[in-house]
Amino acid sequence: MIYLKLILVALFWGGTFIATRIAAQTFEPFMGASIRYIIASVFLIPIAWITKRDFLKVTSKQFWQLCLLGFSGIFAYNFFFFKGLKLVPASHGALLVALNPIMVMLFSAWRYGEKIRPVSILGMLISLSGVALVLSRGNLLELFSGFQWGDAFMLGCPVTWAIYTLAGKDALKTTTPLQASAWASMTGCVMLLLFSGTETFPDFVPGKVWIALAYLGIIGTVLAFVWYYEGVMKLGVTKTAIFNNLVPVFALILSVFILKEQVQIYTYIGAALVIGGVFIINRF
């Protein structure tokens, strides 16, 4: 059952690229992300309270652990996510965020002293070559001249997600997935709201943007985050991160069918290299 949940999480998160791409054309990053997590908190807090009446009671150590989840996985990640997808196509951004498992592996090696084997280094180099192909828009000789701000923002996502995943591993030793997700959503939402005051609310918000934000809050956050942490708790960080390989695949398919994006051939080649490299890392 947990494997099915993690496949659905990958599908849901593939859909968040589409929804965020739509919402980011109307809302600035802090404002849009704030609305996403207000919606998520409306659902998460009552569910967490019904499941565990004292879910708000945490120790001082747990509080700071959960605040780190809110800062890394909610505040920082969503700033990069919204800002990046305002500037680059969803299919393009999804391939850069596909570096998530590699960042998790590198941070795990640094945090827990896990050894990185030669085959993992090979997989990392293959994935990075795919990312370089996407960043250079198909011309590796123009890698740096083709690099754009949207790329830089999207590359912030794997870094903050690795921090969120590993911080979650520590937090889940004393909290439940639902409690951790609820606290992360609440604390991250407060941080986002503090900065959303620097942005202006748009004069008109199309209906499809509200639908996109509702999807981000309910499906992309409430269901996906809780199930993701269930995977971390039951399967461990590395095995759970394997399912992230499916996210760019779903995002690429959905961007073509829903957003009607024209995907260049270098994007497909880059996708094959990124996903193939990550598969090698996790398989061996």
Cβ(18)–Cβ(256) under 8 Å?
no
Has residue 264 been placed in a domain?
Answer: no
Question: Domain for residue 97, yes or no?
Answer: yes
Residue 73 within a domain: yes
C-beta separation of 23 from 209 below 8 A = yes
Task: Map the chain to HEC letters.
Answer: CHHHHHHHHHHHHHHHHHHHHHHHCCCCHHHHHHHHHHHHHHHHHHHHHHHCCCCCCCCHHHHHHHHHHHHHHHHHHHHHHHHHHHHCCHHHHHHHHCCHHHHHHHHHHHHHCCCCCHHHHHHHHHHHHHHHHHHCCCCHHHCCCCCCHHHHHHHHHHHHHHHHHHHHHHHCCCCCHHHHHHHHHHHHHHHHHHHHCCCCCCCCCCHHHHHHHHHHHHHHHHHHHHHHHHHHHHHCHHHHHHHHHHHHHHHHHHHHHCCCCCCCHHHHHHHHHHHHHHHHHHHC
**Six-digit token string for 199:** 């942005």
At residue 143, the pLDDT reads 62
Whether residue 67 is contained in a domain is answered as yes
Q: Which residues of 94-104 are buried (b: 16+ CB within 10 A; e: fewer)?
A: bbbbbbbbbbb
- Asked if residue 195 belongs to a domain, the reply is yes
Residue 229 lies in a domain: yes
Number of domains in the chain: 1
Half-sphere exposure (Cβ direction) of 125: Cα atoms closer than 13 Å: 7
Q: In this predicted structure, what is the pLDDT of residue 148?
A: 82
Give the residue numbers spanning the domain of 152.
2-101+148-259
* Terminal alpha carbon distance of the chain: 24
Say if residues 258 and 18 touch (Cβ distance below 8 Å).
yes
List the pLDDT tens digit at each of the 284 positions of the chain.
888 888 899 899 999 999 999 999 999 999 999 999 999 989 888 888 888 778 888 898 999 999 999 999 999 999 999 999 999 888 778 878 877 777 887 887 787 777 778 887 888 788 878 878 877 777 776 666 667 888 899 999 999 988 998 888 888 888 888 888 889 989 999 999 999 988 999 999 999 999 999 999 999 988 887 888 788 788 877 677 667 777 878 888 888 889 888 878 888 888 888 778 877 876 76
Instruction: Tell me, yes or no, whether 123 lies in a domain.
Output: no
Domain assignment present for residue 160? The answer is yes
